[in-house]
Structure 1
Amino acid sequence: MSKTLYSVYRYIVLGLFLIINIWLFLLSIFSTSRLTSDASEHTYYTGDHAWLHIIILVVLIAAVFYLVRNNIFTRINSYLSNNEKTFIRIRNICLIIIGISGAAWVLLTQSNAGADQYYVLDAARGLRNGDYSAFRYNGYIAKYTNQIGLLFIEYIIGFIVGDYNYLFWQLLNVVMIVFTYKMFSDILGILKLPRIASLSTIILGILFFPWTLYSVFIYGNIAGLFFATSAFKYTMLFIDSLKEFNSFKISYIVISAVSMMLSVMVKNNYLIFMIALIIYTVAEALRHRNIQIILVTCAVIAGFAIQAVVPKLVIEKISGCNLGSGASSWTWIAMGLHPSDGNVYADGWYSGRIAAFYENNDYDTKKEAEVSKAEIKGYIDTYKNNHKAFTSFLSKKVASQWNNPEFQCFWITNVRSSDIEKSPVISDILSLKGSSTFIAFLNIMQSIILFGSMLYAVNTLIEGTFAGAAVLPLTFIGGFIFHLFWEGKCQYTLPYFMLLLPLSIIGFYSMAKKLSSVTKKHLYKCGVFAVILLFIAIIFNRFIILNQDNKSYRQYREYTIEQQKL
């Protein structure tokens, strides 16, 4: 029964992951979503050069084939395996490059926190200094109780670093970004991939740099992924220790549970990562037929319960305010289902009208929930009765969140004030014209990453290898489904996309292994898959591809560049 249950789970996870990957890969090569550089967050859906993406991928495959057939990969990996100090030195150099890039971006832009980032820091200052206005019934924290965990951490650390210390938090982000990449590398090591694969993950992180530029964003995104990756790593180490030594280290369980607790605490959306980890541990218990793995599940749930109760109790005790439920989650689902106004935001993105439901209903969560549910019902009825409207909404929402190569990494700096006069170099990079070159590069990198993760899904489905990495695609699926109906934004989806980096390297490694001993059977399978992909692309291009904004984006671009010159 355990074998059957695990087999069903494996096919469902990998099947869904492959379908989503094909969707996003085809989107990436046929079209590109482009965000305005101002605060309006309007998305333009433009065409792309599919043949350019395909040619680059063919050249990349040919390069891998050449390196494999000439044993260059084998010789490099053999050298790295026999010279651990050299491997560590090269890995650390790559990590230092990421660290220097992130720190340089922080120091050269010195972006101030704005909107929700600022409000949480301001509430932490108020809590330390006896200003409890943010915690009263109409205050920011009373409305957004999901911010309590992040507030609690900023409150404690603020006693040492002070108030509004943006540089400290941003540089701390840089440190966590560096160690997140290190843990990606470590995870591939746990999966017994060669050292060249571990290095390649970090190199891919250098090339695909949006996460590094997110170092200026003080909103729990960076910390959440750092702690979630730590939880994944130590869970995998725990399972590995049971498999190899038939004994477990309690420290792995503790680190995994505490890391997951902190991840959810700093950002509630990382609850998806936690749910994925729980499902993963149950599945691994079935796969290895070892009930001890469930100890991680229990510890993670206990950690979640602690973070859900303790910070709130402490803050209520200090402020003397009773923090209720705050704004209803139904409001964010209503926001995630509403079509674009046509002027501001994309389909399913933030709506000020819907966000005001809480205030408009006298700060009553139950009343607000009823209004939001009625709003949701209206959208669902519209989409049920008009399939074309639903297809248009779904296509635009997915494209706006997942098919923007920069994932708002330039936008988050553009819309924030700074206390310094930025240098001409930085100003040029942030300008619409200057950022276009970087976005074009990221557009290609995005396709390469998606292609590699698609290879991972296909290979793992057929061969059944690298099952230990299943927590990553499982989390990605959760994030993709969640953001189909929750408030949309590129900055929300980027953490899930980052999980594709190690999976993409696994996919290319699997391809390299096949190329080392390619046979007619392998070529036949590739041909079949290519025909299936071409057939899907034809259908996809007919119904899903969005490229109707070429003219309007060109006009916006010309106007904006002219204004920036003036």
Structure 2
Amino acid sequence: MEKIYRILLGIFLVCLIPILLVLSYWSCRYSYYGTVDYSIRNLLIKDSTWKHIFIFLLASVIVYEGDKWLTAQNQINQEKICIYTLLATSVTAFLLGSIYVLNNPYYPVGDQISATAFAAYCRDGNFIMLCSGGYVGMYQQQKGLGILYEMLFALFGNFNYTPAKILHVIWWVLAILAGYGFLKLNTDRAIFRIVYCIMMLGCIPFLLYLPYIYGDVLSISFGMVMFWAVSAYEHYEKKRYIALAACVAGIAVLARKNTWIILIGVGIYAALVCLKKKKGQYLLAGFAILLTAALTVKAVDVMYEYRSGYPSDIGIPSILWIAMGLQETDGMAGVYNRYQQTTFAEHDFQQEPAAQEGKEYIRERLREFRENPAMARDFFKRKLEDQWIEPLFSSLKATESFDTDGEPLSSGITSLYYGNIHETVWKLANYYQSIVYLAGLVLGIALCGRWWQKKEIPTALWLPLIGIVGGFLFSIIWEAQSRYVFPYYVFLILFVPMGLYETGRAISRLPKHRRKTTEQNQTQEESLREIA
């Protein structure tokens, strides 16, 4: 079993390193930029590679020197500093997030307004959106968000979005707390937790997405809680942690269906731990989490079917999204173009013939890629770049619809979305992104070294990494949307402190190695002189 475990980890590392290498290379060479007036969806901007590398190395040295100072303190003082940092970060995040969401007049459009309108209509007994051609009839995954907003509207009134925005701020703080707990369980250096707090507070896209009336922030935060709870179960083997993980997994998958990617990662992680520790209870725990999430979704389906009389699972076949993800639309690779909805409607909302057309399109498109490999490489390169190296992950573009009752936007919001603050925020996020990817790459290389030397690696560290690899692979085939990959970017922040520390430690060893080499050369010269 130990041999199988190591082979599986080796295969995983073979997948992880090229992904992080490509993302690091792209993020240092160039970035996608949403123009200030949003007239161009994304504009390719050439970066100063050496400047990005210099900032990363500088951050690494600071982290390493900070670790030296911190380890000079006794254990009690180290923990006090960590707790004070966590407290300051949480309070700052809550205040900053609250001020931002209460002063940003963002009003939802598109899927957000449709999903929340569905919740309001259902509360009034109107289920027309569940019919075969209705919005939720086609997009069945919105039932999960619908039931969550039904509960919220029952407390605060229909279309009252302010409580949801405040909850998003709380979920941001919750993500910080959960990530801190995860690192405390699985790492042995206090500096990792401190740097993680600073990095999460400096994650500008997370702040900018707080007013966004959708399930993204909730699913990211509850995903973090799930990582901590699963890791805690491995450490303490208390069933309450699995109960918590199953609960938050069910809610997260209702909020965003792509949560299934990290849930599959939980299943893979459970199998790895089962192989390593030779205990079947971990496999049962992973199964319990997956089963709870599936039953939660099914329960919501049955509930709406019972209340409305409309059958569930009549929505657009998933294969049509994959087909759309292979299309070129206005010079952009794999972006949303209503293909799946149009095809479904053309087949009178019948799943089987619509799915068949999607499969035929995919076969034809793959044949084109085989005949023209250069075109295929260019297509998928542009598709991945569009999603993964836009430093703000479309957060400003996604929240650029406002309800001001005819009043002009405040100067601060105007500058953030269209002026000088926009430029500054984008540049900061650009350097931040290269730090995240480069640190992830360094950590991946360090993990390879430990794997090769057969050194112990905390099993729980693999859990978020499996989700990141799954998210990257999924982004290749699905609709190209930078917002969809943002969760995996946040999960990667967990590993940034370790990557910075490893780089700083490597830099600190360079002068010692140089002195050692010089001393060896001098010794050899003296020996040669004595012989002569």
Please say whether Structure 1 and Structure 2 have the same fold, judged by a TM-score greater than 0.5: yes
Show the counterpart of 1:299.
Answer: 288
Within 5 Å, which residues of 2 pair with 1:487-526?
Answer: 487-512=479-504, 520=513
Q: Distance in 2 between matches of 1:403 and 1:86?
A: 34
Residues 167 and 455 of structure 1: is their aligned pair in 2 closer, same or farther, counting only changes over 3 Å? same
Shift of 1:148: 1.2
Show the counterpart of 1:365.
Answer: 351
Paired residues of 2:64 and 2:504 also in contact (CA < 8 A): yes
Paired residues of 2:183 and 2:192 also in contact (CA < 8 A): yes
Match of 1:389 among 372, 375, 381: 375
Within 5 Å, which residues of 2 pair with 1:140-155?
Answer: 140-155=135-150
Q: Kindly indicate whether residue 159 of structure 2 is the aligned counterpart of residue 173 of structure 1.
A: no
Within 5 Å, which residues of 2 pair with 1:46-445?
Answer: 46-64=45-63, 66-67=65-66, 71-75=68-72, 78=73, 81-82=76-77, 84-241=79-236, 248-342=237-331, 346-419=332-405, 421-445=408-432
The secondary structure found in structure 2 opposite 1:252 is helix
Q: Distance in 1 between matches of 2:271 and 2:43?
A: 42
Q: Distance in 2 between matches of 1:37 and 1:117?
A: 23
Q: Kindly indicate whether residue 449 of structure 2 is the aligned counterpart of residue 462 of structure 1.
A: yes
Of the structure 1 ranges 266-275 and 306-315, higher mean CA displacement relative to structure 2 is found in 306-315
Residues 502 and 164 of structure 1: is their aligned pair in 2 closer, same or farther, counting only changes over 3 Å? same
Deviations 1:9-53, CA, capped at 9 Å, x for gaps? 111222211110110000001111122456776222221111211
Within 5 Å, which residues of 2 pair with 1:36-51?
Answer: 36=35, 42-51=41-50
Query: Which amino acid in structure 2 is aligned with residue 267 of structure 1?
Result: R
Residues 266 and 58 of structure 1: is their aligned pair in 2 closer, same or farther, counting only changes over 3 Å? closer
Q: Distance in 1 between matches of 2:238 and 2:65?
A: 43
Residues 40 and 285 of structure 1: is their aligned pair in 2 closer, same or farther, counting only changes over 3 Å? farther
Query: Which amino acid in structure 2 is aligned with residue 442 of structure 1?
Result: A
Paired residues of 2:250 and 2:297 also in contact (CA < 8 A): no
Query: Which amino acid in structure 1 is aligned with residue 387 of structure 2?
Result: Q
Residues 148 and 3 of structure 1: is their aligned pair in 2 closer, same or farther, counting only changes over 3 Å? same
Q: Distance in 1 between matches of 2:336 and 2:404?
A: 24
The secondary structure found in structure 2 opposite 1:255 is helix
Shift of 1:300: 1.1
Shift of 1:61: 3.7
The secondary structure found in structure 2 opposite 1:45 is strand
Show the counterpart of 2:472.
Answer: 480
State the percentage of identical aligned residues: 22
Q: Distance in 1 between matches of 2:211 and 2:330?
A: 30
Query: Which amino acid in structure 2 is aligned with residue 330 of structure 1?
Result: I
Q: Distance in 1 between matches of 2:76 and 2:82?
A: 8
**Structure possessing the higher radius of gyration over alpha carbons:** 2
Residues 81 and 382 of structure 1: is their aligned pair in 2 closer, same or farther, counting only changes over 3 Å? farther
Paired residues of 1:80 and 1:86 also in contact (CA < 8 A): no
Q: Distance in 2 between matches of 1:53 and 1:27?
A: 11
Deviations 1:166-195, CA, capped at 9 Å, x for gaps? 111111011001110111111100013322
Show the counterpart of 2:529.
Answer: none
Paired residues of 1:117 and 1:219 also in contact (CA < 8 A): yes
Shift of 1:463: 1.5
The secondary structure found in structure 2 opposite 1:422 is coil
Show the counterpart of 1:537.
Answer: none
Residues 136 and 21 of structure 1: is their aligned pair in 2 closer, same or farther, counting only changes over 3 Å? same
How many positions carry a matched residue from both structures? 510
The secondary structure found in structure 2 opposite 1:33 is strand
Residues 55 and 226 of structure 1: is their aligned pair in 2 closer, same or farther, counting only changes over 3 Å? closer
Paired residues of 1:80 and 1:87 also in contact (CA < 8 A): no
Q: Distance in 2 between matches of 1:41 and 1:287?
A: 50
Paired residues of 1:141 and 1:147 also in contact (CA < 8 A): yes
Q: Which consecutive residues of structure 1, in runs of 5 or more, have no partner in the other structure? A: 242-247, 525-566
Shift of 1:323: 2.7
Paired residues of 2:441 and 2:499 also in contact (CA < 8 A): yes
Q: Distance in 2 between matches of 1:204 and 1:467?
A: 23
TM-score, length of structure 2 as denominator length:
0.91
Q: Distance in 1 between matches of 2:104 and 2:492?
A: 28
The secondary structure found in structure 2 opposite 1:145 is coil
Shift of 1:63: 3.7
Shift of 1:83: 6.1
Deviations 1:193-214, CA, capped at 9 Å, x for gaps? 3222112111011222211211
TM-score, length of structure 1 as denominator length:
0.86
Paired residues of 1:455 and 1:504 also in contact (CA < 8 A): no
Residues 200 and 362 of structure 1: is their aligned pair in 2 closer, same or farther, counting only changes over 3 Å? same
Shift of 1:316: 1.4
Paired residues of 1:190 and 1:237 also in contact (CA < 8 A): yes
Q: Distance in 1 between matches of 2:397 and 2:143?
A: 26
Shift of 1:122: 0.3
Paired residues of 2:61 and 2:507 also in contact (CA < 8 A): no
Shift of 1:422: 2.5
Show the counterpart of 1:535.
Answer: none
CA RMSD in angstroms, aligned pairs only = 2.2
Q: Distance in 1 between matches of 2:286 and 2:338?
A: 39
Shift of 1:66: 4.9
Shift of 1:505: 1.1
Q: Which consecutive residues of structure 2, in runs of 5 or more, have no partner in the other structure? A: 452-456, 518-532
Query: Which amino acid in structure 2 is aligned with residue 73 of structure 1?
Result: L
Show the counterpart of 2:34.
Answer: 35
